[in-house]
Chains A and B, each alone.
Chain A
Amino acid sequence: MKATWQRFKSSYLLYSFRRDKVAMASFAVLVLLILTGLAAPLVSPYNPYDPSSIDIMNSELPPAWQDAGSRAFLLGTDVQGRDMVSTMIYGLRLSILIGCGAVTLQALIGIFIGLIAGYIGGKVDALLMRLADIQLSFPYLMVAIFISAIFQVAFGIGRYAELAVPLLIVIIGLSEWPVYARTIRASVIGEKNKEYVEAARVIGLNRRLIMVRHILPNTITSVLVISTIQVANAVMSEAALSFLGLGMPVTKPSLGSLIRSGFEYIFSGSWWITIFPGILLVIFVLVINLLGDWLRDVLNPKLYKGA
């Protein structure tokens, strides 16, 4: 453990991180946002899921610095009288949860298929990659919208709303696995004829062990590079689905559904219900994208143009 820490301390990764102000700032903001989201019950001033803390008389209060605003609600309240800061923190928490869950699922499916396709090759490879190609020829957002539409019709709106979190993870996971499968396959093909793999084969290790223990660790860099961008994509997809009404219900709002529910009140001048969650979403996605760009440049300059 200590040796790993030492190696990390003298690594190029850390060196270039400490020289890059944009990367450091985005990392700080990202950590702050994630911590706030995870500690939502502790840090948020109110619990937006608790009906007893909500008073309808407080609905549509503007932010505290405006004349009609109240000191108790820094960024104002929404139509149901929920504190904007609290709903946003809880929404951020859901967005993070769904984003990370979906990317984990994508990575699992993608790594599994990519390893098999790359290592076994031949007909299996051709079939799996054709499948990935077919799906990639459609934009992921379209695929996600279709899958969620089908799920919603199949489950019925009420049941869909109950199961929204796991369903969204599955939907976004299914809509983007080909990205991982392709990347992993490419690195596996690059690795599989190297001497250490041949050595492992000569010793007589079985295929599964060679794939998981020997090849997989050497493809992790490329997984890392795409993962950051994929999290940003997943959060965006979730927001888009929720905005369309195919995602989180208004009773358990993510950032996307907050924007959706605030949208209709923009015409009566209550801009804060929509704009604040929107800003938070943009900041969150932006810092991940900035970090992703930096990581891509540092870890794999070759990927830069292709991606």
Chain B
Amino acid sequence: MFAFIVRRIGQAVLVMLVISLVGFSIKNRIGDPVRDVVGERVTPAERAALRQKLGLNDPFLVQYVRFVENALKGDLGLSFFYKKPALKVIISKAPATLELVFVTALILIVVSLPIGVFTAIRPRNWFSRFTMAFSTLGVSIPVFLTAILLIYVFAVTLNWLPSYGRGLTVDIGGWQSGLLTLDGLKHLILPSISLASIMLPLFIRLIRAEMMEILETEYIKFAWAKGLRRSRIWFLHAFKNTLLPVITVFGVQIGIMFAFTILTETVFQWQGMGFMFLEAVERSDTSLLVAYLVVVGVIFVVVNTLVDIIYGLVNPTVRVAGRK
């Protein structure tokens, strides 16, 4: 087990190195660190002096090592637009995105588990058929279209819910939370529903497929033969074993949700990391762009590694298969 964890972490470090190399190349080739520091109104002579001072004339590799060293210390460069360290900007935007992802994950669990289990134990019921047909339609609707439709119906036509921004937030030790005010919660409803809508079909299908497979196994047949109560077989024996693969996929999908937050945040003007990223692209704020790349990379790598390790702990066949 120890060897498995070490190997998995080694892979994670390797991936992070690749990401940092990509990030650094962008910064080096496209960005202009001199501009990030002093802006555009500086004479060419001063500019050249500053280039030398910042070490921009050093060989590529030397600069790359410096970039990685700085990144490890938490210094990802200055944002040209915000005039602040890029990492600080990202951290200030993180709560909005994290709260959105959290609420979406909550919706996903609450909705997909019962529906997935139901469609597995009653595959011929009309509701199950309807759900399966609807899930194909569901994956064909892009998340921004769902968001627009929700806005049109609930914000423009019915005027029930707000359509943009986070609403009233409460400051808890630097964390701007919208979860504690009624207004903030209202603002969360539409974005989280549209974000959940894109993942929901996948989860329901996954839970259904896993559960149906488990229901075919020997030990479930044995449980039927023993004459156990239906509910006990379904919800205790079968359901427990369905959860394991579902939890793994859930972990990975939380990462994928970050990609979709960029779209959702754009539609709802949600002041999170994704919205900030697009603004950075429009403003050619290279440092901020690279910082976002690195931060998202870290999130992904950490989540993937943790999920793999946890899965390895629970399911020994994974680590044996990986050993060779």
Contact = CB atoms under 8 A, between A and B. Distances in A.
A243 B263 CA distance: 8
B284 A153 contact: yes
Nearest to B277: A149
Interface string A132-158: 001001110110011001101110010
A181 interface: no
A245 to B, nearest CB: 7
A154 B26 CA distance: 9
Contact of B266 (A137, A138, A243, A289): A243
A142 B156 contact: no
A200 interface: no
A289 B263 contact: no
Interface in B242-271: 255-256, 258-260, 262-263, 266-267
Nearest to A305: B209
Given A245-B282, A259-B144, A266-B148, A146 B293 contact: yes
A286 B151 CA distance: 23
Given A138-B300, A271-B152, A153 B259 contact: no
Interface stretch (B107-115, B135-143, B230-238): B135-143
Given A259-B144, A278-B145, A266 B156 contact: yes
A5 interface: no
Identify the interface centre among B136, B163, B286, B301: most chain A CB within 10 Å of its CB.
B136
Contact of A269 (B143, B148, B156): B156
B25 to A, nearest CB: 9
Contact of B30 (A153, A266, A274): A153
Nearest to B297: A138
The interface residues of chain B, by DSSP majority, are classed as helix
Contacts of B152: 266, 271, 274-275
A154 B31 CA distance: 8
Given A134-B18, A266-B151, A289-B140, A281 B258 contact: no
Interface in A257-272: 259, 263, 266-267, 269, 271
Contacts, number: 96
Interface string B18-44: 100000001001110000000000000
A295 interface: no
Contact of A289 (B139, B151, B209, B258): B139
B278 A245 contact: yes
A155 B284 CA distance: 11
Contact of A149 (B15, B139, B289): B289
A153 B286 contact: yes
A145 B266 CA distance: 13
A125 interface: no
B304 interface: yes
Contacts of A139: 255-256, 259
24 contacts: A134-B15, A134-B18, A137-B15, A137-B304, A139-B259, A142-B256, A150-B26, A154-B29, A232-B140, A236-B142, A240-B263, A243-B266, A245-B278, A246-B281, A263-B148, A275-B148, A281-B142, A281-B145, A282-B145, A285-B140, A286-B137, A286-B140, A293-B136, A305-B213
Given A153-B284, A157-B282, A275-B149, 11 more contacts: A134-B14, A139-B256, A146-B293, A153-B286, A154-B29, A259-B145, A267-B163, A274-B152, A278-B149, A285-B142, A286-B140
Question: Nearest 9 pairs between A and B by C-beta?
Answer: A142-B259, A286-B140, A139-B256, A285-B140, A149-B281, A139-B259, A278-B145, A141-B259, A154-B30
